[in-house]
Amino acid sequence: MRVVGTDRKLVLKPPKKRLLTKRGIELMSNTEIIFQTPGVGGALACVVIVALVVCYGFTLRWISRGREDQTGEPPR
C-alpha cells in the first residue's frame, strides 16, 4: 500500500500492477548488469563492425557512381 494525496487529505491506495517486480526494476536500472552480462559486449561489437562494413561499402558505391551522376553512363 502507498500513501498519496495532499497535505489536507491522505488516501490509502492499492499498489498499481507492474510488469516487473521492485527487485526486477532495481536490477534493470542497474547499469552494471549491462556491463556484466556475457554476450552483450560481443553483440555490440558485431553491430559496430557490421555497421562499419556497410558504411564503407556504401561510400565505395557512392564514389563509383560519380561517373553515372555526371555523364549518365553506368560505371565500367
For other proteins, the binding residues (CB under 8 A) are 34-42, 44-46, 48-49, 52-53, 56, 59-64, 66-67, 69-71, 74-76
Taking alpha carbons only, the member of 3, 24, 21 closest to residue 12 is: 3
Which runs of consecutive H residues, i.e. helices, occur in 12-72? 22-29, 31-36, 40-64, 66-71
Q: Which one, 20 or 58, has the nearer CB to other proteins?
A: 58
Min. distance of Cβ 21 from other proteins in angstroms? Answer: 24
Min. distance of Cβ 41 from other proteins in angstroms? Answer: 4
Contact 37, 31 (CB under 8 A): no
Dig out the grid coordinates for 27 from the structure: 536490477
Min. distance of Cβ 30 from other proteins in angstroms? Answer: 13
